[in-house]
Amino acid sequence: MHEFSIVMSMLDLAEASAREEGASRIEAIHLEIGALAGVVPEALEFAFQGAREGTMASAARLEVDYLPAVARCNTCDASFELDNRWGVALCPTCGTPSAQLLQGKEMQLARLEVA
Amino acid sequence: MATHDSTRDINLHSHGGVDGSTDVRTVQVQKSLMTHNDGVAAENRMRFGSRLVLNIVSSPGSGKTALMERTVRELANDLQVGVVVGDLETDNDAVRIHDAGAPSVQIVTGAVCHLEAEMVARAVDNLDVEGLDVVVIENVGNLVCPAAWDLGEDLRVTMLSVTEGEDKPLKYPRIFKDAHAVIVNKIDIAEVVGFDRAKALDSIAKVAPAATVFEVSAKTGEGMADWLDWLRARRVEKVERLSKVTVG
Ligand SMILES: Nc1nc2c(ncn2[C@@H]2O[C@H](COP(=O)(O)OP(=O)(O)O)[C@@H](O)[C@H]2O)c(=O)[nH]1
Ligand SMILES: [Mg+2]
Ligand SMILES: [Zn+2]
């Protein structure tokens, strides 16, 4: 379960950012996770519950925005949202499979609520 | 000058604390959770210099180590290959690579289901990188967990074997989408296990249309020539690219 490693990185980054702002605790952590990032929401929450104790985020909420996967068709010079969760990016206009993802692999710490 | 730089907009909204001490404010961060790992991966990349570096991923048992044993042997006359092997428990794989004639370092990850850039950095301390042309990093057998961690490689190689089901790329899209090359291994037993080749190639083409596909048998050596030629070409390409950067 790699979600534990992801949560550890997240807590390091969140604490460093909160300290930089002179905050003493983190009330909420907002993440942006791409649909193809390979992160299981339940596993992420479970790992967070287990790892947050003793950190500045010991009572924080974890809020996650899941971003849809978006690909680009080079033939049509257009971008489109994937209509499946298998990573198949067939251009709705010309049917060409796309290798280029514009969005969908994000694992981003978007913002914190601190006090 | 403002106290905070413009990338961080902070807005205060009081939650009604008695003395204002519970004011909760929003801090924009907008940083990847992989920031630390990516930094170490960049350092690894510097350290690897002109060596071609591969990160090879597959399910357990697809034949990563077997392919590396054969690759090491068949390249012995033109390229010196070193191998870093990640495994949950044992150092058997590093011993197999060593027996095939290449320097190898084992990373025993314990409970960790993937390699991270820092683990590779530590392992590379025990590898004489200077004397190598190619470094192969065999990741932990897993098609989900390793995907997000850049190790400092040039190329991702994702492998599946003919016993695993033709729709594997559809089930693990991220790791196939990121692949520069997809290897279909164990073609020596394809017929026996009823492997539907057309269906497998079709799933690969749908998910990873830009990847180069190799169909090989690490056991019999069938299909190896194309794979080895590809490695040689990628290595030449990298050396040329870097020499241009240094010159001009
Ligand atoms: N028939 C056949 N067996 C293979 C081939 N490559 C690997 N194997 C066998 O598959 C098993 C797993 O191989 P290994 O290299 O350890 O896989 P890894 O876990 O991906 O490193 C071993 O028993 C190998 O002998 C192949 O091309 N053909
Ligand atoms: Mg192995
Ligand atoms: Zn199109």
User: Is position B55 within any domain?
Assistant: yes
Helix (H, G, I), strand (E, B) or coil at B114: coil
Sequential DSSP letters for B15-54: ---SSSTT-EEEEEEEEETTHHHHHHHHHHHHHHTTSEEE
For residue B188 and ligand 1, the question of a CB distance below 6 A is answered with yes
For residue B142 and ligand 1, the question of a CB distance below 6 A is answered with no
Q: At residue B184, what are phi and psi to the nearest 5 degrees? A: -100, 110
Find the CB nearest B33 among A1, A9, A21.
A9
The lowest-confidence range among A18-22, A64-68, B9-13, B165-169 is: B9-13
User: Is position B129 within any domain?
Assistant: yes
* Contact (CB<8Å) A1/B148: no
Q: Quick one: pLDDT at residue B88?
A: 86
For residue B231, the domain's CATH number is 3.40.50.300
Token pair in block for residue B202:
């079709």
Q: Quick one: pLDDT at residue A33?
A: 97
Residue B220 forms contact with A (CB below 8 Å): no
Domain that holds residue B144: 11-247
Q: At residue B62, what are phi and psi to the nearest 5 degrees? A: -70, -25
- CA–centroid distance, residue A70 to ligand 3 (Å): 13
Nearest CA in chain B to A27: B24
For residue A43, the domain's CATH number is 3.30.2320.80
Number of separate domains in chain A: 1
Number of separate domains in chain B: 1
Angle at B81 between CA B78 and CA B85, to 5 degrees: 160
Helix (H, G, I), strand (E, B) or coil at B101: coil
pLDDT band of B195, cuts 50, 70, 90: very high
Residue A64 forms contact with B (CB below 8 Å): no
ipTM for the predicted complex comes to 0.93
Could you tell me which residues are beta bridge partners of residue A32?
Answer: A65, A108
**What is the rounded distance in angstroms from the CA atom of residue B81 to the CA atom of residue B76?**
8
**What is the rounded distance in angstroms from the CA atom of residue B7 to the CA atom of residue B14?**
22
Looking from the CA of A17 toward its CB, the CA atoms found within 13 Å total 30
Domain that holds residue A80: 3-114
Contacts for A40 with CB less than 8 Å, ≥ 6 apart: A3
* Contact (CB<8Å) A109/B30: yes
**Predicted TM-score of the model (pTM):** 0.91
For residue B219 and ligand 1, the question of a CB distance below 6 A is answered with yes
User: Is position B1 within any domain?
Assistant: no
Contacts for A90 with CB less than 8 Å, ≥ 6 apart: A96, A97, A98, B206
Per-residue pLDDT tens over the stretch B68-112: 999 999 999 999 999 999 988 888 999 999 999 999 999 999 889
